[in-house]
A and B are shown apart, each in its own frame.
Chain A
Amino acid sequence: MEWEVVIGLETHTQLRTKSKIFSGASTAYGAEPNTQACEVSIALPGVLPVLNKEAVQCAIKFGLAVDAEIAPRSVFSRKNYFYPDLPKGYQISQFELPVVGKGKMTIQVPATSKHEAYEKVIHITRAHLEEDAGKSLHGAVDDMSGIDLNRAGTPLLEIVTEPDMRSAAEAVAYAKKLHELVQWIGICDGNMQEGSFRCDVNVSVRPKGTTELGTRREIKNLNSFKFMQQAIVYETQWQIETLEDGGKIEQATVLFNPDTGETRAMRSKEEANDYRYFPDPDLLPLAITEADQAAIKSQMPELPEAMKARFESEYALSSYDASTLTSSKAIADYFESVIQAGGDAKLAANWVMGGVTAKLNTEDKTIVDSPINAATLAQLVIRIADGTISNNAGKQVFEAMWSGESDVDAIIEAKGLKQVSDTGAIEAMIDEVLTANATMVDEYKAGKEKAFNALVGQTMKASKGKANPAQVNALLKKKLDA
């Protein structure tokens, strides 16, 4: 039987606010345990939550970015359960009325040996605001578990998709796209090691061609795309084998072990809590007006899709180039800065996608770490465009720039890379070459095109590579055909 995997994601995105979602305590990562736990974080008797407006703005930004319904009125609810790192004995979340409703996102799934690259629309079910719990530190203190409440109350936006994905590749493409988007609109730092972006993946399988959903298992807390890929592939295979062996899938929460590459059930659904959700009487319903939305919309950066379309029309870039250059906000910003500093668009695109990206990949860096800033790269692009140096010579200049030199003209000067564009000087060189290579001239005249290239090569050699190749071509042709 042929099987189909059905995947939906729940992503916990840590919002980039200075303070916690319901208190003024700092959200900075990595502080000494419990040094960022104020009276509200500790849940002392008598404390009350106050909603952080910045967190709401983040949620609205996300809603606008995925073309979603933004609820004019949403409600915070209490999710009640006992756990040592949950100080109030309940988590403030949103249940029946989330701040962001149905939306959608277009993902690009890369080509493989089996299929071409393709696009797919993934539907967002909802996104809601909630607070994070603290952390239990086992073994930190002898014979005891420690509780660190620094993270308790950190704002999260939980983004839930419809079960729209049909392969690990699609799930990863969605996660990557979402990861990029939340950084693009500035609501999340995207730091997966620090837990700022964590995915829970719901996986089920069904016979291909059927429409009923199979029983799902939820892979919890995946914080790398590589693990996500591995976990889904393993889980899918496990479910198929279990069913083919006549077994049954029990709804469960599973964890992925990166060391073994396996998923293992953490708890089954029979042990599931009744969370006794009810509206939090300490918080008023959250009201968002059209005006609030408009105010935030006006501050939103241009979104990737819009920017891609603009790059195609404004800079005459191909769809592929425009897509590559808008794959991250940092790359897009860098590219546009090169243009703003006077660089030609097509040349800038080639250098950003070519030389710069290759170097970054080799050195495992991102564009923000590039030793060549956009203004400097623009200088290089300008010198190529105005004919001062050839594109080839540009590569030498680029290497020097990468090593820390920043004055493009000085590099050209020092390396003597300036192109000779003086027609008289080039003609003189050509005359010498023609005289010294009479045989080749004869061959050319006899119809051997190859001889022409050899003569260009000789001329370039005579100029020590500095002659403008286009000029050499033109002048040589003129002289030979005269």
Chain B
Amino acid sequence: MINQSLKNLSQLLASKAVSSVEMTQTFLERIRQYNPTINAYITIDEEKSLAQAKAADSLIAAGTATTLTGIPFAQKDIFCAKDWRTTCGSKMLANFIAPYDAHVIAQFNHVGAVNLGKTNMDEFAMGSSNETSYFGGVKNPWDLTRVPGGSSGGSAAAVAARLCAAATGTDTGGSIRQPASLCGFTGLKPTYGLVSRYGMIAFASSLDQAGPMAKSAEDCALMMNVMAGFDARDSTSLNHPKEDYTAKLEQPLAGLKVGLPKEYFAEGLDSDVAKVVDEAIATYQKLGAEFVDISLPNASLSIPVYYVLAPAEASSNLSRYDGVRYGHRTAQYDDLMDMYMKSRAEGFGEEVKRRILIGTYVLSAGYYDAYYLKAQQIRHLIADDFKAAFKQCDIIMGPTVPSTAFKTGEKTDDPVAMYLQDIYTIATNLAGLPGMSIPAGFSASIDGHDLPVGLQLIGNYFDEARMLNVAHAYQQVTDWHTAMPKGIE
């Protein structure tokens, strides 16, 4: 059951071969067994999950179920879920019980899906290895000595280790796609504004976007049908007509024009990863796709631009964590200022503090024009690069990450090396474009471990259905996406 597609799980439930309670129990048992090692979940509440499963079984019995009714999903701990502890991976919110549902959570609840638990993540989604979490790192199921990527590391490990049917994630600079690449599954970051941010704890508001993390493109499409849609409570939510993301899955790829940005195949790309990507390109050629060389001349500026804009927004977004109304408040303080300083010094981890400091600096009087304004101007140039590129091609392909999963602790003392993990993914966030990572093979075995490699797809605005089609076609002729890590069967 654990390696089944969402469609198959749905059929199992509909045919009453398995109940939602049984399916939920199966995953909860796996969580009990593997989570102490992998640490994918921060919060599990079996009672709540089973109550939802029971309710789902009634819907199924009543014949009012939809595709995802009764299927157990893992939810990134960045989404507020009513009556669930919602920590965002931080000591600051370690005891915060959300009194309301995020839009994404409400959408899953609405279709009667089961919430299996809240997954581990880098603190406030700041990190690429899940090592900044207050609740400890997450192990990559393909090699327990390596990181799963981040910031959606818990959801990634949960999907890879089959500790859920599928999971949600968020992606500000690559937080869905990079872990999808490192853990070998399919992850989609939709067009900015397609999925409401309401109730999703903000890191960098103009970049944050929620998306599905699942085994296949088809699973992602089914989840997008639930997650996407206009929400009046998010002013940046786009009033895009509701789509059926499964509708175009089976379209043939003949005539598809794929752009290969030369900047994504330049120095810095591991040869192992390059080899896998080249093989994937060859497969696509067989499927009828045509390839053109393109250029994204400002792509190299993505990381510096991102590390001005994202911290700027974060420094302001995280000001609400002041110990006054909720969240961590220091035990002893002399006055208001002392309370602020101690509460925030104790409540936030090192990486979060680093970004608050950077963000505060770039917004300060005298520095604003040189950093924040300049970065905004370059952001437009980066978006213009993509606009030009999409005149030459329908979709862009390349590696998701320059390398495979790295060892735990390997980059923790070198923030810049960590930031370079997102070198191929950040530009899409800056442009607001949809991006995807799909499993495309493995690196040469290291210490007996095969490490997954992801292929990145970048589409034009609102081209999610087409991207899912392109990914699905590949998954019909390859089986990388069904491969499971050893030792978790």
Q: Give chain A's interface residues, CB within 8 Å of chain B.
A: 39, 42-51, 78, 80, 82, 84, 87-90, 147, 274, 276-278, 281-284
Inter-chain contact A278/B324, CB cutoff 8 Å: no
Inter-chain contact A45/B88, CB cutoff 8 Å: yes
Nearest CB to that of A24 among chain B residues? B233
Closest Cβ of chain A: how far from B123's Cβ, in Å? 13
Inter-chain contact A281/B319, CB cutoff 8 Å: no
Chain B interface main SS type: loop
A89 in contact with B364 given A45-B88, A50-B232 (CB within 8 Å): no
Alpha-carbon distance between A135 and B339 when the two chains are bound, in angstroms = 19
Residues of chain B within 8 A (CB-CB) of A277 are 363
Inter-chain contact A51/B235, CB cutoff 8 Å: yes
Inter-chain contact B363/A276, CB cutoff 8 Å: yes
Alpha-carbon distance between A82 and B340 when the two chains are bound, in angstroms = 9
Residues of chain A within 8 A (CB-CB) of B336 are 84
Most buried by A among B88, B102, B235: B235
| Neighbour of B316 across the interface among A42, A44, A90, A283, CB < 8 A | A90
B191-218 vs A: 1/0 string, CB under 8 Å?
0000001111110111000000000000
| Neighbour of A46 across the interface among B199, B315, B326, B363, CB < 8 A | B199
Name 14 interchain pairs, CB-CB below 8 A, sorted by A: A45-B93, A45-B201, A45-B202, A46-B102, A46-B199, A46-B200, A87-B325, A89-B319, A90-B316, A90-B319, A276-B365, A277-B363, A278-B316, A281-B204
Inter-chain contact A282/B324, CB cutoff 8 Å: no
Inter-chain contact B201/A42, CB cutoff 8 Å: no
Residues of chain B within 8 A (CB-CB) of A44 are 80, 98-100, 326
Alpha-carbon distance between A281 and B315 when the two chains are bound, in angstroms = 13
Interface size on B, residues (CB 8 A): 43
Most buried by B among A277, A278, A282: A278
Indicate if B422 sits at the interface (CB-CB under 8 A).
no
B76-100 vs A: 1/0 string, CB under 8 Å?
0001100000101000010010111
Alpha-carbon distance between A49 and B325 when the two chains are bound, in angstroms = 19
Closest Cβ of chain A: how far from B350's Cβ, in Å? 21
Inter-chain contact B197/A48, CB cutoff 8 Å: yes
Inter-chain contact A276/B100, CB cutoff 8 Å: no
Q: A46-B98, A46-B102, A80-B363 are in contact. List 9 more A-B contacts (CB 8 A).
A: A43-B325, A44-B326, A45-B88, A46-B198, A46-B200, A80-B316, A82-B322, A89-B322, A90-B319
Indicate if B368 sits at the interface (CB-CB under 8 A).
yes
B356-378 vs A: 1/0 string, CB under 8 Å?
00001001110010001000000
Nearest CB to that of A149 among chain B residues? B325
Inter-chain contact A45/B80, CB cutoff 8 Å: yes
Indicate if B312 sits at the interface (CB-CB under 8 A).
yes
B221-260 vs A: 1/0 string, CB under 8 Å?
0000000000011111000000000000000000000000
Alpha-carbon distance between A246 and B235 when the two chains are bound, in angstroms = 55
Residues of chain B within 8 A (CB-CB) of A46 are 79-80, 98, 102, 197-202
Residues of chain A within 8 A (CB-CB) of B340 are 82
Nearest CB to that of A38 among chain B residues? B100
Indicate if B380 sits at the interface (CB-CB under 8 A).
no
Alpha-carbon distance between A39 and B103 when the two chains are bound, in angstroms = 14
Inter-chain contact A88/B319, CB cutoff 8 Å: yes
Chain A interface main SS type: loop
Inter-chain contact A278/B325, CB cutoff 8 Å: no
Indicate if B313 sits at the interface (CB-CB under 8 A).
yes
Nearest CB to that of B79 among chain A residues? A46
A276 in contact with B316 given A46-B80, A48-B198 (CB within 8 Å): yes
Indicate if B320 sits at the interface (CB-CB under 8 A).
yes
Alpha-carbon distance between A307 and B100 when the two chains are bound, in angstroms = 51
Residues of chain A within 8 A (CB-CB) of B200 are 46
Residues of chain A within 8 A (CB-CB) of B205 are 281-282
Inter-chain contact A278/B235, CB cutoff 8 Å: no
Inter-chain contact B319/A47, CB cutoff 8 Å: no
Closest Cβ of chain B: how far from A187's Cβ, in Å? 23
Closest Cβ of chain A: how far from B234's Cβ, in Å? 5
Alpha-carbon distance between A39 and B363 when the two chains are bound, in angstroms = 27
Alpha-carbon distance between A46 and B318 when the two chains are bound, in angstroms = 11
| Neighbour of A278 across the interface among B204, B232, B372, CB < 8 A | B372
| Neighbour of A88 across the interface among B235, B236, B320, CB < 8 A | B320
Closest Cβ of chain B: how far from A45's Cβ, in Å? 4
Closest Cβ of chain B: how far from A91's Cβ, in Å? 11
Residues of chain A within 8 A (CB-CB) of B236 are 281-282, 284
Inter-chain contact A45/B316, CB cutoff 8 Å: no
Residues of chain B within 8 A (CB-CB) of A88 are 319-320
Inter-chain contact B316/A282, CB cutoff 8 Å: no
Inter-chain contact A276/B235, CB cutoff 8 Å: no
Inter-chain contact B312/A278, CB cutoff 8 Å: yes
Residues of chain B within 8 A (CB-CB) of A278 are 312, 316, 363, 368, 372
Inter-chain contact B360/A276, CB cutoff 8 Å: yes
Inter-chain contact A274/B365, CB cutoff 8 Å: yes
Inter-chain contact B93/A274, CB cutoff 8 Å: no
The 5 closest A-B pairs by CB, nearest first: A89-B319, A281-B206, A276-B363, A281-B205, A46-B199
| Neighbour of B233 across the interface among A48, A87, A89, A147, CB < 8 A | A48
Closest Cβ of chain A: how far from B109's Cβ, in Å? 16
Closest Cβ of chain B: how far from A81's Cβ, in Å? 9
Inter-chain contact B99/A39, CB cutoff 8 Å: yes
Residues of chain B within 8 A (CB-CB) of A80 are 315-316, 319, 363
Closest Cβ of chain B: how far from A90's Cβ, in Å? 5
Residues of chain A within 8 A (CB-CB) of B316 are 78, 80, 89-90, 276, 278
Inter-chain contact A42/B325, CB cutoff 8 Å: yes
Inter-chain contact B206/A47, CB cutoff 8 Å: no
Residues of chain B within 8 A (CB-CB) of A49 are 235
Alpha-carbon distance between A49 and B364 when the two chains are bound, in angstroms = 24
Closest Cβ of chain A: how far from B133's Cβ, in Å? 16
Most buried by B among A48, A274, A277: A48
| Neighbour of A147 across the interface among B99, B100, B324, B363, CB < 8 A | B324
Inter-chain contact B312/A47, CB cutoff 8 Å: no
A48 in contact with B234 given A90-B316, A90-B319, A281-B205 (CB within 8 Å): yes
Nearest CB to that of B363 among chain A residues? A276
Nearest CB to that of B326 among chain A residues? A44
CB proximity to A under 8 Å, residues B296-353: 312-313, 315-316, 318-320, 322, 324-326, 336, 340
Alpha-carbon distance between A282 and B315 when the two chains are bound, in angstroms = 14
Alpha-carbon distance between A43 and B236 when the two chains are bound, in angstroms = 18
Closest Cβ of chain B: how far from A20's Cβ, in Å? 14
| Neighbour of A276 across the interface among B232, B234, B364, CB < 8 A | B364
Alpha-carbon distance between A418 and B448 when the two chains are bound, in angstroms = 117
Alpha-carbon distance between A397 and B98 when the two chains are bound, in angstroms = 67
Inter-chain contact B364/A274, CB cutoff 8 Å: yes
Alpha-carbon distance between A49 and B80 when the two chains are bound, in angstroms = 16
Closest Cβ of chain A: how far from B401's Cβ, in Å? 26
Residues of chain A within 8 A (CB-CB) of B324 are 84, 87, 147
Alpha-carbon distance between A44 and B97 when the two chains are bound, in angstroms = 11
Closest Cβ of chain B: how far from A30's Cβ, in Å? 22
Alpha-carbon distance between A276 and B356 when the two chains are bound, in angstroms = 13
Residues of chain A within 8 A (CB-CB) of B197 are 46, 48
Residues of chain B within 8 A (CB-CB) of A82 are 319, 322, 340
Residues of chain B within 8 A (CB-CB) of A51 are 235
Residues of chain B within 8 A (CB-CB) of A87 are 320, 324-325
